[in-house]
Amino acid sequence: MKEQKRIAIGILAALILVLLTFNITFKQRVMINQLSLLKSCGLTIIASNNTYNTTIYEAITQAEQEQGYMNVSIVGKNVECKNNCGMLFPFNTSQESCFWMKDTEFPIKQIWLNESGGEARVVYIENASPYSTNIVCAYGNAVLELPMNYTISNLSVSKIGYNALFYFKNC
């Protein structure tokens, strides 16, 4: 009887381990697919008299904006995010928007922008830490999030400052 209990417990433990592994793998695949479902558009950044081009995702709907990068742990390995992967949060008007980093596993530079005539200027910058529940709010008609560990051409995201200009194509 004791031997049967041990076998049953062993089988149950193995089953739980398989289910947990499947859940984690499935969750990562869902997040990758979720990012690839977002509309992508071009971004040109002019900083320190140099021009840099990349592709970003656009979070348009409320659900897309609420999700953002939450629970995405392998952005850099995603086919669509090989080297550069930013996310634009456009708004219809200039408004206060608030962000946090809950369930976001990597540091992000959050850039509040005011766009007019195709050119966007920096209003506020926040270097956000992973998993932070600090809520950061600022005014603008768009927010651009760029993972801090990325380099766009030769431009380190960490060096983007208030003098940078942003041009969005097909956003």
In the chain, domain spans: 2-169
Which amino acid appears at position 40 of this protein? S
For the chain, give the mean pLDDT: 78
* Half-sphere exposure for 166 (CA within 13 Å, toward CB): 29
Number of other CB atoms surrounding residue 42 within 10 Å: 13
**For residue 23, pLDDT beyond 90:** no
Binned at pLDDT 50, 70 and 90, residue 31 comes out as: very low
pLDDT at 25 over 50: no
Mean pLDDT for 91-117 is: 90
Q: Give domain 2-169's CATH superfamily.
A: Protein of unknown function DUF192 (2.60.120.1140)
User: What distance separates the 2 farthest-apart alpha carbons in the chain?
Assistant: 78
pLDDT exceeds 60 at position 162: yes
